[in-house]
């Protein structure tokens, strides 16, 4: 066992807890939409064919925003294909995922789903095969109250009130050579600036996200952000970041330290944006929309799209099964996102259902929670008020990928209104328990509300449709609070949440 000494103090405030940190993502990819959120043959399906069991799990997960409809899919998408009478909608080739898109779900259905799930929609426009006009058309269809061709078309399609979508992504991963309509930073920056400028002529209050790097390891990383923001700084509010991690070659130590890479990604993008701000002599700051993040085993067979003449509808794709270590990494990535709440204004766990997802479904059958469901749901429910940086004194360990990594990472939240405190902590040690000694004296009179731990002697344990609960967060009976000091023992490879109140 080793000891980690942590100090909490309301003076270490980073910024507010933002509900939008707990966003997710629904893409027309694999079984995310069809047999995921939408399955008319399911016993719980509503009039639109949406599964109520999935809506209930989405609520339990505590999702705030949902990005839609892609992802790589959006870069070839014609949004008009998905409106009007369903039986007259075209079937199209989806080049991004070598699938057939039946267009049974489009923008109107998605907005009804979002309302039912009580999530804020975040829309993405196609800047791969399309441009300014089509983005304006979609915005008119969604947000103009009425009296124009496209807003009246929406009304004729059943939605009298505008959808009032605030957050819009200007394309997706335009830096990636795999993207349909991939562009250079300069080409994309110009297009993003002009699309944003025109969209603001319809609605000046939009929150617009420029497409940033699809990974910190991209050869154009840094230069991409600098060029795109040089073109579009005045017109956008956020720049996106995407990151996926996985355990490679049995290197669990590096995998558990993945949040160091996310920290580096966030601080690098912020520094680059601030450098452009300085050059332009502006006061406005660009925030980060971390609108794709998760664990994803991209090299595995289930992530390979079909090939040749096979263009299936809703194939099994990217259906990763997550284990306990994956859940601990997801928890540590949430710690990183919260710790940077001064800069990360929105984030989306990619994705929501079936596709690299916390929620899984059987077609017409059962739905269940993967291990990664739990840290997300717990953090979304417990993080309230202000984010506090936690001072941590803990030994480090050496990783192959990221150098020295602290064995324990943590962040806390403090609600100044109720006095409630939540501490989120991971133990990255693969072999040793950690004794957490937490100094709470700067917030007097705190008492323990609950302490829970997610871990398992076998960190490769995965949930299944038949057993998604025998390994779930369990009460941690070692937690005590005495004289302003919280102590608890946490197992190796664990995610831990302690809640305290006055």
Binding interface with ligand AHR (CB under 6 A):
27, 29, 70-72, 172-173, 214, 292, 350-351
Q: Give the pair of three-digit tokens for residue 255.
A: 């995998």
Q: Which is nearer to ligand AHR, 102 or 128 (CB)?
A: 128
CB of 252 to ligand AHR, least distance (A): 24
CB of 294 to ligand AHR, least distance (A): 8
CB of 174 to ligand AHR, least distance (A): 10
In sequence order, the β-bridge partners of residue 412 are: 388, 423
**Residues whose CB is less than 8 angstroms from the CB of residue 422 and which lie 6 or more positions away in sequence, other chains included:** 382, 383, 384, 412, 413, 497, 498, 499, 500
Q: Give the pair of three-digit tokens for residue 211.
A: 């497409």
**Residues whose CB is less than 8 angstroms from the CB of residue 24 and which lie 6 or more positions away in sequence, other chains included:** 58, 61, 63, 65, 66, 67, 119, 348, 349, 350, 351, 352
Q: Give the active site residue among 101, 247, 292, 389.
A: 292
CB of 172 to ligand AHR, least distance (A): 5
Q: Which is nearer to ligand AHR, 29 or 239 (CB)?
A: 29
In sequence order, the β-bridge partners of residue 447 are: 501
Q: Which is nearer to ligand AHR, 24 or 361 (CB)?
A: 24
Place of tokens 């915005």: 139
Residue 292 among the catalytic residues: yes
- Biggest CA–CA distance in the chain, Å, is 69
Q: Give the active site residue among 101, 173, 231, 247.
A: 173
Q: What is the CB-side half-sphere exposure of residue 501 using CA atoms within 13 A?
A: 8
Residue 173 among the catalytic residues: yes
Q: Which is nearer to ligand AHR, 71 or 491 (CB)?
A: 71
Please state, in angstroms and rounded to a whole number, the distance separating the CA atoms of residues 466 and 256: 27
Q: Which is nearer to ligand AHR, 283 or 307 (CB)?
A: 307
SS3 breakdown of the chain: % helix, strand, coil, rounded to 5? 30, 25, 45
Nearest-CB residue for ligand AHR:
71
What Rg value do the Cα atoms of the chain yield, rounded? Answer: 23
Q: Which is nearer to ligand AHR, 125 or 498 (CB)?
A: 125
CB of 313 to ligand AHR, least distance (A): 17
CA distances for 366 relative to 39, 78, 358, angstroms: 12, 32, 14
Q: Which is nearer to ligand AHR, 170 or 486 (CB)?
A: 170
Q: Is residue 266 within 8 Å of residue 412, measured between CB atoms?
A: no
CB of 292 to ligand AHR, least distance (A): 5
Q: Which residues of 60-72 are buried (b: 16+ CB within 10 A; e: fewer)?
A: ebbbbbbbbbbbb
CB of 180 to ligand AHR, least distance (A): 11
Q: Is residue 122 within 8 Å of residue 23, measured between CB atoms?
A: yes
Q: Is residue 62 within 8 Å of residue 380, measured between CB atoms?
A: yes
Please state, in angstroms and rounded to a whole number, the distance separating the CA atoms of residues 277 and 237: 12
Q: Which is nearer to ligand AHR, 244 or 461 (CB)?
A: 244
Q: Is the dihedral of CA 146, 151, 156, 162 positive or negative?
A: negative
CB of 212 to ligand AHR, least distance (A): 12
- The torsion defined by the Cα of 368, 373, 374 and 379, in degrees rounded to 10, comes to -150
Catalytic positions, please?
173, 292
């Amino acid at each position: 066992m080793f000891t980690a000494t942590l100090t909490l103090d309301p003076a270490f405030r980073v910024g507010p807890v933002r509900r939008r940190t707990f966003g997710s993502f629904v893409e027309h990819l694999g079984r995310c939409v069809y047999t995921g959120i939408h399955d008319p043959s399911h016993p719980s399906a509503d009039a639109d064919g949406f599964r109520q069991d999935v809506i209930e799990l989405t609520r339990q997960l505590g999702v705030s925003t949902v990005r839609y409809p892609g992802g790589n899919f959006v870069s070839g998408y014609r949004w008009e294909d998905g409106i009007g009478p369903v039986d007259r909608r075209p079937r199209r080739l989806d080049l991004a995922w070598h699938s057939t898109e039946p267009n049974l779900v489009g923008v109107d259905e998605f907005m009804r789903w979002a309302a039912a799930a009580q999530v804020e929609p975040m829309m993405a426009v196609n800047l791969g095969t399309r441009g300014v006009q089509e983005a304006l058309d979609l915005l008119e269809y969604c947000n103009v109250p009425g009296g124009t061709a496209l807003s009246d078309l929406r009304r004729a399609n059943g939605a009298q009130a505008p959808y009032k979508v605030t957050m819009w992504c200007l394309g997706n991963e335009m830096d990636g050579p795999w993207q349909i309509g991939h562009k250079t930073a300069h080409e994309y920056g110009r297009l993003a600036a002009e699309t944003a400028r025109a969209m603001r002529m319809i609605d000046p209050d939009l929150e617009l996200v420029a497409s940033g790097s699809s990974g910190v390891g991209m050869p154009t990383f840094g230069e991409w952000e600098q060029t795109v923001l040089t073109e579009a700084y005045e017109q956008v509010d956020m720049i996106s970041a995407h990151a996926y991690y996985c355990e490679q070659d049995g290197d669990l130590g590096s995998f558990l330290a993945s949040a160091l890479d996310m920290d580096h990604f966030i601080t690098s993008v912020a520094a680059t944006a601030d450098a452009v701000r300085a050059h332009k002599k502006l006061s406005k700051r660009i925030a980060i929309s971390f609108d794709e993040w998760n664990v994803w085993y991209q090299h595995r067979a289930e992530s390979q799209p079909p090939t040749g003449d096979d263009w299936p509808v809703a194939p099994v794709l990217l259906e990763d099964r997550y284990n306990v270590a994956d859940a601990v990494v997801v928890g540590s990535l949430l710690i990183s996102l919260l710790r940077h709440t001064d800069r990360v204004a929105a984030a989306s766990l990619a994705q929501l259902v079936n596709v690299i997802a916390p929620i899984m479904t059987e077609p017409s059958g059962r739905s269940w929670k993967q291990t990664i469901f739990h840290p997300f749901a717990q953090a979304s429910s417990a993080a309230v008020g202000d984010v506090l940086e936690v001072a941590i004194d803990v030994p480090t360990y050496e990783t192959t990928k990221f150098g020295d990594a602290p064995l324990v990472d943590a962040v806390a939240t403090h609600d100044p209104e109720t006095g409630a405190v939540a501490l989120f902590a991971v133990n990255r040690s693969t072999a040793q328990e950690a004794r957490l000694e937490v100094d709470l004296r700067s917030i007097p009179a705190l008492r323990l509300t609950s302490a829970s731990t997610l871990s398992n002697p076998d960190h490769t344990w995965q949930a299944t449709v038949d057993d998604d609960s025998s390994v779930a967060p369990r009460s941690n009976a070692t937690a005590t609070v005495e004289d302003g000091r919280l102590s608890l023992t946490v197992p190796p490879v664990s995610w831990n949440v302690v809640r305290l109140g006055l």
